[in-house]
Amino acid sequence: MPVGGEKEYYLASACAELYAPPSAYVALYGLTIQQTFLRGVLEKVGVQPEIQRIGRYKSAGDQLGRKSMSNEVKEMLGALLDNIYGNWLDTVSSTHGKKKEEIEEFVNSGVYQVERLKKEGWITDLLYDDQVMTMLKERVGQNDKKSLRMVDYSKYSRVRKSTLGIGGGGDLIAVIRASGSITRTRSGLSVSSSGIIAEQLIKKIRTVRESEKYKAVILRIDSPGGDALASDLMWREIRLLAESKPVVASMSDVAASGGYYMAMAAPVIVAEKLTLTGSIGVITGKFILQKLYERIDFNKEILSRGRYAELNAADQRPLRPDEAELFEKSAQNAYASFRDKAAMSRSMSIDQMETVAQGRVWSGQDAASRGLVDSLGGFSQALAIAKQRAKIPQDKKVRLVEISKASPTLPEILSGIGGSVLGVDRVVKGVLQDVTSLNGVQARMDGILFERLENMPGENQLFLLVKEITNYFG
């Protein structure tokens, strides 16, 4: 391991031995969670966010609507960070046979010297790659000068399914994968069009429901949420599916907000200890561009019929009081529907669900202790439960049938940004529209889209855009 931090060392701790070159840079300083805020920048360019979030902990949209974290969000993120850091300390301490307190004290001393890591037993030895290869040759008894025969990852990962008891003959178990942001239909203009597209996934769910060849279904979810209506439509279809055969929801990294909406339709939910889940809350929003339009000398006029016809169309003026009231009621209604269905799905009272809802994101471990999750574990655990509920003996082989494979979720949405004033208006509206959706209520996990934007290919495009706009307006 020539370079690494907490994440890389965590993965490496699963190995029996760990080597690093003498010049390696391995920094173990601790973990952080950070959030960026654009409200001040938006004000400078004349964009006013009108964001309605329901749930004290629902922070999706805060990057646009606030200038700092709320106390509730600090509480929520602090609890998540405690879980993640605690798990890191537990795992590392168990691999070293040391107390958790010793590991924490070591990290708090500021660790970066590989010599110290070797001395304290964090790495096995300081060796260059060629020295590691020579050592491995000696271990396998290869004395010639030929290169050591290696098996690359692509070949190593081709484990025969039969060796895992999931290949060949036997009963069929369907695997439906739902990965990415949730939308109702595919749109060539939508950032989210390559994630979970409800109309397509519903067709696949119905196909499985109508087939008698599948003995059980595993719904594998990795989603921060998205369109609330799309989430509800899929919830209904999964409920119907569960009436015909056993269904187990298996949560991956994230199954929050709309992702949890889908999962709660299954009679059994399985999550990893650090799965991000919950976030039972909604957000909706629009952007008032009056000042931006004035600055760029852009005019927009609307003719309408109906008291609220301009609620979504009019971005050149603030909301009227009656429009703002309707705006809030719409979000409140969506939240109540989400919360009440979650309560019904998890056999809780409304009051009980309210204590764990409010848009709060939980770790899988905390979600399990609060009744939002039934069992902790990965896909193997979900498979074992599916076999049990389908009355298939655990030692009997089954065949997994992939119905819906995961699709990519992070296209380069900001590529090709132009520098024209009209382009600025178009791009700003396009980016903001996808974050909080001007077209409907969202059940989206807090901050996920922006966190992923910051780590995607072309990660600096958004911030270059902001810089471009602020430079233009002086």
Query: Which residues are identified as catalytic?
Result: 257
**What are residue 26's DSSP bridge partners?**
4
Residue 352 to residue 57: CA distance in whole angstroms: 17
Q: Is 188 left (phi over 0), alpha (psi -120 to 50) or beta?
A: alpha
Q: Pairing relation of β-strands 282-288 and 48-54? A: antiparallel
Angle among Cα 20, 22, 28 to the nearest 5 degrees reads 60
Q: Give the integer Cα–Cα distance in Å for 119 and 238.
A: 54
Alpha helices in 275-413 (DSSP H): 290-295, 321-345, 350-356, 364-369, 379-389
Q: How many residues would you count in the chain?
A: 474
The residue whose two tokens read 């409920």 is: 239
Contacts for 346 with CB less than 8 Å, ≥ 6 apart: 264, 353, 371, 372
Tokens 């909301």 — which residue?
319
